[in-house]
Structures are given as C-alpha cells and as structure tokens.
Amino acid sequence: MPTRVPSAAPPTPTVPVHDSQLDVAGALLTLLRDATTEPRPDTQLEALTLAVAADLPVVLWGEPGIGKTAALTQLAESLDLPLTTVIASVHEPSDFSGLPVIGDDPAEQGVPMAPPDWAVRLVRAGRGLLFLDELSTAPPAVQAALLRLVLERRIGALRLPPGVRIVAAANPRSSAADGWELSPPLANRFVHLRWTHDHEVVVRGLGGTWPRATLPRLDPEKLPEAVAFARRAVCALLSARPALVHRIPTDEARRGGPWPSPRSWDMALCLIAFATAAGSSRDVLSLLVRGTVGDGPGLELLAGLDRMDLPDPELLLADPAAAVLPQRGDLRQAVLDGVVEAVRGRPEKTRWDAAWALLVRAAESGAPDLVVVPATTLAGLRQEDWDVPASIERLAAVVNLSRRADRAADRAADRAADRAADRAADRAAGRAAGRGTVATKAGR
C-alpha cells in the first residue's frame, strides 16, 4: 500500500508584534484618526473657499473647540497646500517686521531686516496656506506688526509669493485666553466669517466622514459679466448712499469686526464677482458681503443685488404673455410697481392694456393681494378715450375680496382695542374702589 503522507498544516496568520503597550496605543490612535471626506453642501465652508480663491485674507470667528483649526487643516489637505501655522501671540513684533542683521559696514550697506524661517520656507515652496491662529490673543504691538504682512504680504525684506493664502482664526474676547479686540486697521484688512458647528456634520465626522473642501468652479464665459455685475452693484449703492463709503464704528467691539471702507468695498466687489462666476447661493454671498462691510451695509447691498436681477419693466410690457415674474413676494411687488411707474412715465393705451395683462398674470400665479395697490394706481392712470379692458373684470373680484379682508381685519383690530380699553378701565375702577375703601377705613 502506498505510504500516506500527512498534509501540511495551514500557515499561522502573521500577527503584528508590538514592542510595548505604547505601540498598541499608537496603532489605536492611527485607527481613530483614519477618516474620509465626502462632497457635502456647506455654506460657511464654501464661503471660506471662495475667499481663499479670491486671495483675500480671512479670519474665522468662533468659540473655542468649534473646529476652526481642524477646518483649516482639512482645507490645506484638500487644496494640496503646505500648511504653516503661526501663533501670533507668542511672537514679538520683530518676528513679523523682520529681525535686524548687522553686516560688515552698516553705514555703507545699511541694516537689513531678516525674515523668520517659516516665511523663508513659504517663499521656497512658492505656495502654501499661512494660518495665523489665536489672532485675538495677539497684543496691540504684534497686531501693528501684522498690518504689512496681511495687506502687502511682506515680512522684512521678503515678499510672500502669490501662491500663498492667509487665513486666521480668533476667539471672541470674552472666551479668548487673555484676549484683545482686533485693532480697526487690522480688522479692516480681513473678511470676517462666523464659524459655527453643524450638528449633522459633527456627528457624521465623528463617524469617520467629514465634508470635503474644494475650490469653486468658475465659469470662464461668465467672468466679464461677473465683473460688470459686481461693479454695477457696488457703485449703484455707493452713489445712492455716499455715507456708506467709509463708516468706522464708534463701539470698540464692532471696530474689531467688519465695517465699510474703500478697502472693504473693494473686497466686497471682488467677492461678488467670484460668487457670480461660481454660481454660488445667496446664503454664501450674504456671509461674504456682510463679513466684509458689516451687517447693515451688507444687507443694503444684497437688497440692491436682488433688484438688479429683476426683469426690465419695458420687456415685460412688450410681451406680457411671456413674462416670468419673481416668486418672492417683495420682489414681485417691486416688479409690478416698476411696471406701473413705466406706464406713468409714458402713458399709452397699448402699454396700459399690457400692464393690466401683467397684473392678471400676477394674480393668477401668486398672492392676489400683491396686485391691489398696483391695480388701484394703474386705474388712476386711465385717460378718457381709453376703453376699459376686459381683464379688469378678472381683477375686480380679487381687489374687492382683498379690500373686504382688510376692512374685516381693521374691524377685528378695533374690537380687540376696545376690549383692551374696557379691561384697562375695569382694572382702574377696581383700583380706585380699593383706594376708597382704604380711605374710609382710615377715616373711621
């Protein structure tokens, strides 16, 4: 019988051998830090990447532990930019203005200002993300030294290359470690973004997946149009509101944030052009504009941008059947008012009829009460020899219904006011009766 050879035993799987428990801990930390990214709509992250693409200095404001540093680290990795972190508060002013180096003959050669090593590394790399962390803990002298770095990109005799972007992070003074308010000159050089946490982003990130930061996709065909649109919007507002060109706040805390100046308006113009070319949402544009010139001027500029997108009244009057009216109530009201004013400026029977057709279209496709005031005004523009169009009858019921609703609301408000007055009178009478009783007892 043939000799039976025993089969070889299966190989034992190789188990990594750790020299110590610290090696095991290191392996566990590696697993914990292992995370992926995914494309996810994020308004504040998109605003940040737009400002970085526009080569404007950005400062992120947020409470400690909110994720500002982590966001900047992830941004640098996503954009493949070397990250250089500088804690401004632990540096001397000379670290940013340059250290004097005495040569062989200072009287002949002068005393050059040598840049720090991190600036030299950025210049050698030709690109990178300079992260000025804990900016609100930098004392005033250091903030003054940062002015030239942030605006002119100069450190001593060295100039940072165009491929370097500057982003800072700061905590509010109330929650910063020995915090200071930003000086007005330094604050006016930044785009200020409020950094908050999103519950869903945090939960999904702790699960191992964080949102991915990507540079905006600019449409090459929209570049000239985007620049013209941004210039028209800013110039129109400042022409109508010259007081907004330069308005430094009187409150110290607000002076350390965004406020309007020729410099910040120039940044706002740049950001509008970038957001327009990238097709960004209004929420992203709102963060950028308000973070550059402040809430009040920023909201006025945004309102002006909305009006610029409104259709031309003359085009609507030329073809009312093909008119596309805005869905937002305030914008639709502005369009209808503009149409009526256009007819007032050039009153003609055909234009008057076209305006009525537009009002009918607006009443049938949106809130009917929006046509009440324009219809009343348009009716007052009728001349004696103009026949009343049949479309007015279709609006009459809407106008009458709206007026009846207004009168009913007024009556309800009057009745509520009367009841409130009656209750107040009853309380006053009760208090007077109580005082009379007390006086009677006191007389006894």
The C-alpha R_g of the chain, in whole angstroms, comes to 34
pLDDT value of residue 115: 82
pLDDT value of residue 401: 43
* Among the listed residues 85, 170, 88, 89, the one whose alpha carbon sits nearest the alpha carbon of residue 129: 85
Q: 319 near 345, Cβ under 8 Å?
A: no
Q: CA dist 93 to 245, 384, 423, Å?
A: 32, 79, 69
Tokens at 201, concatenated: 């982003």
Q: Which residues of the chain have pLDDT under 50?
A: 1-2, 4-5, 15, 401-406, 408-409, 438-442
Can you tell me whether residue 154 is helix, strand or coil? strand
pLDDT value of residue 424: 66
Q: How many residues does the chain have?
A: 444
* Among the listed residues 327, 330, 348, 328, the one whose alpha carbon sits nearest the alpha carbon of residue 338: 330
Phi, psi of 371 (to 5 degrees): -95, -5
The total of other beta-carbon atoms located within 10 Å of residue 380's CB is 9
Distance spanning both ends of the chain, measured CA to CA: 137
pLDDT value of residue 178: 64
178-192 residues labelled b (16+ CB within 10 A) or e (exposed): ebbbbbbbbbbbbbb
Alpha-carbon gap, residue 325 to 311, rounded angstroms:
8
Alpha-carbon gap, residue 218 to 289, rounded angstroms:
19
pLDDT value of residue 442: 44
pLDDT value of residue 408: 42
pLDDT value of residue 265: 97
Q: 231 near 192, Cβ under 8 Å?
A: no
pLDDT value of residue 441: 46
Q: Which residues contact 294 (CB under 8 A, 6 or more apart)?
A: 249, 254, 257, 258, 259, 260
Planar angle of CA 193, 196, 201, nearest 5 degrees: 125
pTM score of the predicted model: 0.71
The DSSP output letter for 403 is: H
151 burial level (CB within 10 Å; 0-12, 13-18, 19+): middle
Give me the helices (H) in 139-211, please.
140-152, 184-187, 199-206
pLDDT value of residue 105: 62
pLDDT value of residue 293: 96
pLDDT value of residue 295: 94
Angle between helices 329-345 and 349-365 (to 10 degrees): 170
